[in-house]
Amino acid sequence: MKLRLLVVGRMQADFAACEERFRKRLRTTCELQVLELAEGRGRQVAQRRQDEEKRILAQARPGFVLFDERGQPLSSRQWAAYLQQMPGNAVQDFVIGGADGVSDALRQKAGACWSLSPLTLPHQMARLLVVEQFYRAWSMLQGHPYHRA
């Protein structure tokens, strides 16, 4: 299985080493590709969202999962169940929008919309959290002791 995480913006060095540690652990069970997309350049929030939406839609495959504060909250076990039901040769895209959020139009085009937390998270932290949850889900499916709850 191949997971693609499309993120608007670049990873900061503070978080990069931690993200790489989880990505390295994941390599034994699935392929995770992270695609960084440029942030919108418009002066208005709507312009930046529109710019970013175009970049996301140019890369994201139909049925992508969008992370958004208005999305459905899922437990780690639900993430694992979602990944488990996918065929072994599947490619699934996951999207983290820009700092200004995403448009309603993009939300409607998503195959699913998930919330990471009711808290507002910095995008760097959200990205790290998603990668860690991918690893946690796979460790649960493999019977690895990483998930202890």
Instruction: Give the pLDDT means over successive 10-residue stretches in the chain (149 positions).
Output: 94 89 89 94 92 96 95 95 90 94 94 94 92 94 80
Q: Give the neighbor-by-neighbor strand order of the sheet with 31-37.
A: 31-37, 2-8, 91-96, 65-73, 112-115
User: What pLDDT was estimated at residue 120?
Assistant: 86
Q: How far is CA 28 from CA 32, 85, 89, in A?
A: 11, 19, 15
pTM confidence score: 0.93
User: What pLDDT was estimated at residue 149?
Assistant: 62
Cα separation, 53 vs 44, in Å, equals 14
| Domain 2-142 fold | Alpha/beta knot (3.40.1280)
The values of phi and psi at residue 24, to 5°, are: -65, -45
Domain residues of the chain, as ranges? 2-142
